[in-house]
């Protein structure tokens, strides 16, 4: 099936499904991990925000992976090894976190002088939907 047909069928399945809602809940906890880590590293450990953000992103990726594996895609958790899933999750989340979160954080903070925490939150929002699609069709893909 061509990519456009697969994408169309994927969208027609409905955006508001239970898996997406679970992903959203996990994402909210990931925002807490990311924002909390970034704030603590920047304000208390005096790590520059652009370094602290990389640590915060990694912590939220690991936290979200574990929760998505055991809750959001639990029905697919037995297929494949945990290391393969973790590797795929890191690639998918890393791409969306770097492009959607980190670059936006740096751009908004440095160029537009927006507070780093607000810039970070905007960056997280940009990468969320693409992160879900990558995880659903690749990281935790259904094996036939």
Q: What are the boundaries of each domain within the chain?
A: 18-139
- List Cα–Cα distances, 69 to 19, 46, 84, in angstroms: 12, 33, 12
Average pLDDT, the chain: 88
Assess whether pLDDT exceeds 70 at residue 67: yes
Where is average pLDDT lowest: 27-41, 54-68, 90-104? Answer: 90-104
pLDDT at 14 (0 to 100): 59
Show Cβ contacts of residue 81 under 8 Å, excluding neighbours closer than 6 positions.
none
2 exposure class (CB count in 10 Å sphere: 0-12, 13-18, 19+): exposed
Percentage above 70 pLDDT, the chain: 90
**Predicted confidence (pLDDT) per residue in 70-93, tens digit:** 999 999 877 788 999 999 999 988
pLDDT at 18 (0 to 100): 86
pLDDT at 1 (0 to 100): 65
pLDDT at 109 (0 to 100): 97
pLDDT at 62 (0 to 100): 96
pLDDT, average across residues 31-48 = 98
């Amino acid at each position: 099936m061509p990519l456009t047909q697969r994408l169309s069928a994927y969208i027609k399945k409905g955006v508001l499904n239970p898996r997406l809602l679970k992903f959203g809940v996990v994402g909210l906890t990931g925002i807490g991990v990311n924002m909390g880590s970034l704030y603590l590293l920047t304000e208390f450990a005096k790590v520059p925000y652009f370094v602290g953000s990389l640590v915060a992103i990694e912590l939220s990726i690991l936290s979200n992976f574990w929760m998505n594996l055991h809750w959001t895609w639990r029905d697919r958790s037995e297929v494949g090894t945990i290391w393969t899933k973790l590797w795929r999750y890191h690639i998918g989340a890393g791409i969306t976190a770097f492009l959607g979160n980190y670059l936006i954080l740096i751009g908004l903070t440095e160029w537009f002088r927006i507070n780093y925490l607000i810039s970070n939150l905007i960056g997280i929002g940009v990468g969320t939907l693409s992160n879900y699609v990558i995880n659903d069709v690749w990281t935790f893909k259904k094996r036939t």
